[in-house]
Each structure stands twice: as C-alpha cells, then as structure tokens.
Structure 1
C-alpha cells in the first residue's frame, strides 16, 4: 500500500510570523502530501493567524499539497461555536472534524474525522462512515491490535486510516486553561501567555521529575511519540497515512527522515538517531502502540 506523510495542525501558540514561515517551509521542502491547517486547541488563538492564512493556503496548494482545515477540538463557549461554524460551514474546502459539533454544519459533505474524536471500534467507524467520513485519523493511544482490527474493517467501508507517528501526544482537554493558571491569570485574561512555550510547558511532579506537558487547555505527553520502527507493520495492516505533529524545530527534517525510511533509503535505527534533534530534547516513546504505558520506549529487540 502506498504510504503518505501528512502534517498535522500546529497545536501550540506560535508567533504569527513564525507560524506562517513554518508552513511556507513545509510547502517548499517537506515531502508530505497533506497539510492540516487551523486552530484545534483554543479559539482565542485563531484570529492571530488570519492575516497569513490566504498566503499559506495559496503557497501550499501551489506546491501540490492537499490542504484540510481542522476544526476546534473542544467547544464550551459561544466563541468556540462561532469558530466551528466558520470552519465547518465553509463551502468548497475539506474539513477535519475534531469535535462532533462540526458535523451539524457539514450535512452530507464528505470529511475527515480527526484524532480528537473517539473511533475505538467497528461500530463507531461505521457510524461516521455512514455520515460522510471518508478518512479517519485514529487516536495515538490506540494499541496495534486495535489499529489492525479497525484497518481491516475500514477497508470494507472504503475508508482510509491515518496514525500519528511523531510528536508530542495529545492526551486530554479541559474547560479551564492550565497555562493561564500557572501564571496567575484566568482563561479570559490570559494575554496569550502560552506563546512563551512554543512546544508546551513541562509539568513536573513534587519531586521535580518531568511528567506531562501543558498547552493551554490541553494536556500532552512529556515524551515525543516516535513510531519509526513500526512504519512497515502499520503499512502492512492497511494504514496509508502517517501524521507528523509539528514542533518549533526540526519538523521538516523529521518529514524527510520518515520519507527516507518509507522509501527504503534509510534504516529505522539510523532514522532514530537522526530524529533526536527534531523537536524538544525529550525521550522518545511508543508504549501505547505496544499495549504498554504510553511513556515507555520499546526497541525492535524487545519482544511483545
């Protein structure tokens, strides 16, 4: 099966010009077929990037990239609802649904189901497929047996599947903003304090051990997911799309490395070493895939 790389939406609050420059670099240099754009975490951030959106979309499409607009992943206010309506209600564009409220505006239009929506069994996959989903990005917590079962079922429904293979793992969302609270602010008066942490703010335990990462209202892994060793197995299961989640450094380099492995021009062991500077300086993990705690890192030499 042909394997395609995709670039997920930027989940962090970057300075708008840095956001624009990242996507222009993706357009020119990243060997990805699909790019997801849009604010998936906090509706307050979305207007910051509006001035660059047309330029970014034009450049990506001119480079032959398919652009899909990602909807918000949690809807708790009127502002959130307006953003979902603005994105999902847009005609003539492809939409990734990250909260099922977006389905209200899509009607019978075909769409993508994003990783913030639970698709954990065949029945849920059927329900979304019957409502117009043609492509589903599974949650990164899914173990390989679950991925395999859904891949077999998706093939019967003519639905393609995507799996995140690199980057910090989104774990949970809250109505409250952890980032603002950590700086003595409220969600409504945050002053966009999360822009101080372009790859998230590390949460430490009482004995000062790094534990999780905070990104506004979102909780993420401290470690970086890395499924470079599992690419062949995933592709053999029927997974056709592999998602990279952006970080402030090295993301385009990571795309080149993953493409080289998929094309057979680099071994996974060589790739693992080359991937270390691609993103924050934190350990790799792949535990969820192997039915283990997500924080764990299992090498090919370790049997299941």
Structure 2
C-alpha cells in the first residue's frame, strides 16, 4: 500500500494576515503534510487581504517539499469573480481546485482537482471529471462509506480525497449571515466574520449547539472525526485525507493524523490527545454511516468494521 497523502485544506475563515502567514510558515517548517491548500473559498471580498502574500507563501511551501493547491471560490456570482478565476487558470506550475461547477471548463486544459463543494456522487460524474483532466477529486462530506468505496475502486481514475477532520461546510449563500447577525448589509459588512476564528456558533432556542456561520457559509457545529474509519478507507483505495484548518494547534492535529495514517497510533489515542488541546469541539461521523450527520458512532460503542 502506498503512503497516504495528508492534506491541509484551505483556511475557510477570515483570519488576519499575521495569523495566516504564521499558520503557513509553521505548516511548511513543522509538519509532515504532503499537500497544502491556499486561496479564498468562501467570499471574494476577503481575497485582497491576503492575495499579495500568496507568491511568498507558495514559494516557502514548495521549498519545504509541499504540493501547493490553489483553491477557488465555492460560489462564483458575477463577472468580476469569473475574471478572477480566469486569471487563476493562467497561473503556471500550480494545481488548481475547482469548487464551483461553472468554472470547471476553465481548467480542462491543465492539471486540476475537483473540490468537495462540487457534487461528485456517482461513477459517471467521477469519470467525466477524470476525462476532463482532474487528477484528484475531493468527495462531498455527506457521502456514506459505501459510496466512497465504490468511487475509490474505479480503476485508472482520479485520486480520491476525503476530509477526516474539521467542521463540515453544509451550504453557501449569496447572503452574508455574519453581517445580518450584526444588522449590517453585505456591501457594508465591516468584515465582522473575522471576529469568529472558527465561525460564529448558532444554537437552538433551547441552547443546543446547531450550526456555525462563517460569512456566506453555513457549517456544522460538530467536527468531523473519521479516524476510526481511516484503515477502511485506505483499503478501499482513498489516497488523500484532508484536515480542515481551525484555530487550535493544527501542527499537533496534523502530527496525530499522520501517525494514524501510518498506523503508529490508534484512533482512541488520537482523540485522547485532541482532548488535551482543551479546544471545544464535539465529534461526528454520522454521514459516513448513512446516519444523521451529528451522530458519532464511536460514542455508541459501534466501531466501524
């Protein structure tokens, strides 16, 4: 079995430039991560804050031996954003991740990957993307293990990637929920999404954790944690395992998942170490089992076989 690829997904939140630069510098210098995603996925208005740093970030990550992937917007809404994507498509020597089906055609003549915001649910869709030059496909968060296994078993197709840690994006909208929560209009949002490093928690009327809001994006309140099923996915043919960045110590998180991927520690040990980070998170793996997404089957004493 070839060595599994460990992937750090794009930063979904509006972190300031110092936090982002420090994050990528530490990823370059201190982790055994194979692939690092950069770029803005959620809101085009955030792009100018960090775009000027991207050349230096790319150079440093590549110098450290990391494959760099430039992730693009999950919702392309106007001609200006299409033009931005066109410019990205002309960048040489870097893998581009398409997250909106409307821009996939722009990358057809160059190596690229399909992001999890595009619904790759069946063999025909996967075959289509592979025929258009996609070298890797990150599957949507809601797929059960049976579908992941089917897609991973297709021969001579794109490499399959699955997110194994972090909040799951559930929806994206043209409206900015963070701005509306402050009584602001999207055009005058004041970038209040940056006040919540991991998204703004949303609770039900009886104070039950429900969702998280990140500007235009709605995420799960729970954190995906699929370490119990990593061996099954490796055997099924999944080649890449994605971590979604949050404000906890992602260097430690990456090290723990690298050890699980290399079969050096077990999932129980991983979760014990995550608990020692003293970061508030409830785990979930329900989607993988065809159950409600908020369920965590390990807590029910039902390990994956």
Give the alignment's TM-score, normalised by structure 2. Answer: 0.95
Alpha-carbon offset, residue 101 of structure 1:
2.5
Q: Report what 1:59 is aligned to.
A: 60
Give unpaired runs (5+ residues) of structure 2. Answer: none
Cα deviation 1:212-234 (Å, max 9, x = unaligned): 00011001000110011111011
Deviates more, 1:38-47 or 1:78-87: 78-87
Q: What is the Cα-based RMSD across aligned positions, in Å? A: 1.5
Determine whether 1:148 maps to 2:130: no
Q: Contact (CA 8 Å) 1:250, 1:279: kept in 2 or not?
A: no
- Secondary structure of residue in 2 paired with 1:225: strand
* Deviations, residues 28-60 of structure 1 (Å, cap 9, x unaligned): 112110001100110001110023212211111
Secondary structure at the aligned position of 1:269 is classed as helix
Determine the structure 1 residue equivalent to 2:219.
Answer: 220
- Distance in 2 (alpha carbons) for counterparts of 1:256 and 1:136: 24
Determine if the alignment matches structure 1 residue 206 to structure 2 residue 205.
yes
Task: Give the distance between the partners of 1:280 and 1:188, measured in 2 at CA.
Answer: 33
Shift, 1:273, TM fit: 1.1
Please say if residues 247 and 280 of structure 1, whose CA atoms lie closer than 8 Å, have aligned partners that are also in contact.
Answer: no
Cα deviation 1:119-146 (Å, max 9, x = unaligned): 0001111111111111100011110001
Paired with 1:168 and 1:277, the residues of 2 have a C-alpha distance of 19
Q: Deviations over 1:67-113 (max 9, x none)?
A: 01111110112332232222223233211111122223223212100
Q: Secondary structure at the match of 2:44?
A: coil
CA distance in 1, matches of 2:51, 2:224: 30
After TM superposition, give the deviation of residue 278 of structure 1 in Å. 5.2
The within-5 A match list for 1:11-50 is 11-50=12-51
SS in 1 for 2:297: coil
Task: Give 1:160 shift.
Answer: 0.8
Preserved contact between residue 174 and residue 216 of structure 2 (Cα < 8 Å) = yes
For 1:264 and 1:105, how far apart are their aligned partners in 2?
A: 39
Q: How far has the Cα of 1:303 moved from its partner? A: 5.7
Assess if the C-alpha contact under 8 Å between 1:72 and 1:83 holds in 2: no
Most deviating of 101-110 and 253-262: 101-110
Cα 1:124–1:277 change in 2 (3 A) is farther
Change over 3 Å in CA distance of 1:88–1:280 after alignment to 2: farther
| Consecutive unaligned residues in structure 1, runs of 5 or more | none
Superposition pairs of residues 264-283 of structure 1, within 5 angstroms:
264-276=263-275, 280-283=279-282
- What secondary structure, in the 3-state scheme, does the structure 1 residue paired with 2:52 have? helix
TM-score by length of 1: 0.95
Separation in structure 2 between the aligned mates of residue 270 and residue 104 of structure 1, nearest angstrom: 44
Report the Cα distance in structure 2 between the residues aligned to 1:279 and 1:41, rounded to whole angstroms: 27
Q: Does residue 85 of the first structure (1) align with residue 93 of the second (2)? A: no
The residue number in structure 2 matching 1:252 is 251
Deviations 1:269-298 (A, max 9, x none): 111111235585021111100111110111
